[in-house]
Structure 1
Amino acid sequence: MRRFVLLYFFALTLPVFLVISVWQSRNYASLQRDVRRLEVVQEEWIESNKRLIAGITLFSSAERIEHIAVEQLGLTKKQPEEILQIRIENGRGRIDG
């Protein structure tokens, strides 16, 4: 009797284990596809960030800013003797220059 119970037990649990194994394999394959897709998205974001950083570097260069100030805005550099500095100390103004 005990032998038959064990035989029935194994006969019934084997399909359960097979179903669980198949389900786990499908779940793993789905997660692998998600990981690959996210890696592609991550690479796109990294490349986009590299381009943005290059643009920031280009647009914030001192030479470019000076060129825009002189050529487009008509500004000129002042000589040190033309600059008037005002410092505020203890609530009173003081002019240096």
Structure 2
Amino acid sequence: MKTIRRWGGLSEFLAARREVWRVDGLLAGYVQRSETGRLTHAVVLGAGHLVPTDQPVNAQAMIEGWILETGPFAAGKGQQQQRVIPDHYRWQY
């Protein structure tokens, strides 16, 4: 905790709004992201420390969101764009 207190972006992150995150219209959790995107905190509802085991669909959506920078995981405001992942790259359940 001592290191995070010295980090210059802490006040910016703490002031950031916590957004509701939905997957297929259902509440998946919450995302808080600093304006610069240097720190993001995601809460996946119904999951413990093994998120992919507890919430596999939401875990995949979270990882895809970060990689493709979509939804609440987008790089910055106004940059949210929908990208489609081909089915052969998606996990099958």
Whose helix proportion is higher, 1 or 2? 1
TM-score (structure 2 length as normaliser)? 0.19
Whose strand proportion is higher, 1 or 2? 2
Tell me: higher relative CO, structure 1 or 2? Use CA pairs within 8 A at least 6 residues apart.
2
TM-score (structure 1 length as normaliser)? 0.19
Structure showing greater Rg: 1
